[in-house]
Amino acid sequence: MSKQVFITGANGMLGASVTREALQQGFSVKAQILPGTSTQVLAGLPIEIVEGNILDRDFLEREMASCQYVINIAALTTIWPRRLDIIHQVNFEGVKNIAEIAQKNGYTRMVQIGTANSFDHGPKNNPGHENNKYEGHQFKMDYMDSKYRAQCYLLDLHATQDFPVIIVNPTYMIGPFDSGPTSGRMLIELYNNKLPGYAGGGKNFVYSKDVAVATVNALHMGRLGECYIVGNENLYFGEMFRRAAGVFNKPFKIKKFPGFAINMVGAINSLKAKMTGKAPKLSYSMAKMASVKQFYAPDKARKELLLPSTPIEEAITDCMAWYKENGYIA
């Protein structure tokens, strides 16, 4: 009988790929989703789907009892408003619930999906790594702060009680099953010629399926009590959009905006959002981050979790094909 893994947030962008990779590696899967949410991205898979909330301990006690592993992907990634109590409840208290029940049931291993933002970034010639301190507090976002808080809790649980946990810290993911859409929204706007311009910053971009491989590998590879930045290519936004335009076979026409102009637009949008209650496409915090060079080194994950390094063009192609198949773009 195969080992069973409890995967939270299984119908999200990363969760759908992790679920498929877990099946590919021979695990049986119990997939947690929020009640009433769509299971379309999991359709046809030989898995058990359970509806519940990671804040519901009774639900977790019942459904986790039959498993030996857990991959916690469920999280609130909201960055507007920047401050919301529910973000800390889900991203910290929910993690505590899962870890405590996994520990109680003698789980073989827990893999927690964190974020690369739990470590300070760097320029291309000196990208951020797992030994860098957390500097995300400067952005004043509960999402970053809560993910870092959960990471610290789990690492302390390992250090003090030998809890078997590994933290996987993805960078900016591109890939299929992005039903939000979330990270791929900028690709849709570029494809539809609606992206007005780009900022001078950049990110480390990674194929979501590569993240899934490293995540499931972490169930039986890597060192307990360690964090692994899971990423691939460090690209300025101009470089990223130029390569995406090449995938689309379209001319690259968008212009680079100065940072002060983007910050001004973000500030105006945030003010309007406070008045209307409608989330802005570009808030002031997003605008500030757009000028930051958030580059990271994934060497540790490549070596210890056998993280693949798929070219970003393939990630974009797969992402856009999924959007087309599901009616997001013509």
Q: So where are the chain's domains? A: 4-178+205-234+296-310
Say if residues 145 and 136 touch (Cβ distance below 8 Å). Answer: yes
DSSP secondary structure of 110-138: EEEE--GGGS--B-TTS-B-TTSPP-GGG
Mean pLDDT per 10-residue run, the chain (330 residues)? 90 98 98 97 98 98 98 88 88 98 98 98 97 91 95 98 98 96 94 92 97 98 98 97 97 86 79 80 74 95 98 98 95
Q: Which residues contact 315 (CB under 8 A, 6 or more apart)?
A: 174, 175, 205, 206, 207, 208, 209
pLDDT value of residue 74:
97
Q: Which residues of 106-136 are buried (b: 16+ CB within 10 A; e: fewer)?
A: ebebbbbbbbbbbbbbbeeeebbbbebebeb
Q: Determine the pLDDT at residue 2.
A: 65
- Tokens 């004043």 locate to 140
Tell me what pLDDT residue 80 has: 67
pTM (global) more than 0.75: yes
DSSP 218-229: TTTSS-TT-EEE
User: 128 vs 169, 187, 228, CA distance in Å?
Assistant: 12, 25, 12
H or E element, residue 32:
strand 28-33
- Give burial (CB, 10 Å; 0-12/13-18/19+) of 54: buried
Whether the CB-CB separation of 121 and 296 falls below 8 Å is answered with: yes
Report which of 105, 119, 75 is spatially closest to residue 93, judged by C-alpha positions.
Answer: 75
Residues 6+ away with beta carbon under 8 Å from 47: 10, 19, 23, 28, 29, 30, 31
Domain 4-178+205-234+296-310 top-level CATH class: alpha beta
Q: How big, in percent rounded to 5, are the helix, strand and coil portions of the chain? A: 45, 15, 40
